[in-house]
Amino acid sequence: MKLKYTILYVENVEKTLAFYENAFGLKRAMLHEGGDYGELDTGSTTLSFSSIKLMNELGKKVGHVDAQKPIFEIAFETENVAEALQKALNAGATLVQNVRDEPWGQTTSYIADHNGFLIEICSPVRG
Q: Which tens digits make up the pLDDT trace of 73-87?
A: 999 999 999 999 999
Can you give the residue ranges of every domain in the chain? 5-57, 74-122
Instruction: Say what the pLDDT of residue 79 is.
Output: 96
Model's pTM, two decimal places?
A: 0.92
β 74-77/37-41 pair status: unpaired
Return all residues near 3 (Cβ < 8 A) that are at least 6 apart: 45
Architecture per CATH, domain 5-57, reads as Roll (3.10)
Q: What is the pLDDT along the chain (127 residues), one digit of tens a residue?
A: 988 999 999 999 999 999 999 999 999 999 999 999 999 999 888 999 999 999 999 999 998 899 889 989 999 999 999 999 999 999 999 999 999 999 999 999 999 999 999 999 999 998 7
* Contact between residue 81 and residue 94 where contact means Cβ atoms under 8 Å apart: no
Architecture of the domain made up of 74-122 = 2-Layer Sandwich (3.30)
